[in-house]
Amino acid sequence: VGLASSAVLVVLAISGFFLIHPGLLGGPMESTLALAVNPNDADHMLRGTLSGLYRSVDGGANWEEVPMLFHAEKVTDIVYAPDDADRVYVVMEDLGLIVSRDGGVVWESVQLGFVPVAEGVRLGRLTAGRGGRIVLATSGGWLKSGDGGKVWRPLGDATEPGRDLRTLIHQLHTGYFFGSGFYVVYDAAALGTVLLAVTGLVIRRRRSNQRNSG
């Protein structure tokens, strides 16, 4: 059990390291998760990846990261408003929805009424109509707003954010399902696993030594 637990921990540590540093895995560039062309200027493009939001002003030949205070991550969609190309929405799977009203220079958060990553809700695609009408697809159902994102309402038979199966699993995983302080039990369980692995190795070594000396 000790050896198996140690092996699992080592695999988790190594795979976690590579997930945090994807550049070490090779590949010319991050895969594009979302792409949008400015409807008024085809040379201006925005590209969303796992690690950020990038812009090109030369039709996609060169890209630079869009500087922003809260940098974008896991961009799932980029949408220019059809009646105002200066208004552009960027959807991030875990971190929420942001909007720029000046073509992508200054950004701000659009309040959804919940924190996606905390509720275990993933944000997906977005569509924008004229007059600030937007519809956002999430793992908990669709949300629509008629005023550019100030007020949101569920569309159709949407599951209330935070009430779907993935949310339940997420809350079980983090411990919040059982109460705000339950993560301590989870941490204790993790520590117990590590102790189990270490003590298992120590016992195995002792027995091996005893056999050798016997």
Question: Residue count at the site for another protein (CB under 8 A)?
Answer: 24
Interface with another protein in residues 134-193 (CB under 8 A): 176-183, 185
Residue 53: CB minimum distance to another protein, A: 10
- In contact, 138 and 91? CB cutoff 8 Å: no
If one asks whether residue 213 binds another protein (CB under 8 A), the answer comes out as: no
Least Å from the CB of residue 126 to another protein: 19
**Minimum CB separation from another protein for residue 108, in Å?**
4
Using CB under 8 A, which of the segments 2-10, 66-74, 133-141, 205-213 binds another protein?
66-74
Single out the segment in contact with another protein by CB under 8 A; choices: 28-36, 42-50, 63-71, 200-208: 63-71
Binding flag, residue 63, another protein (CB under 8 A): no
The residue from 39, 59, 67, 129 that contacts another protein (CB under 8 A) is 67
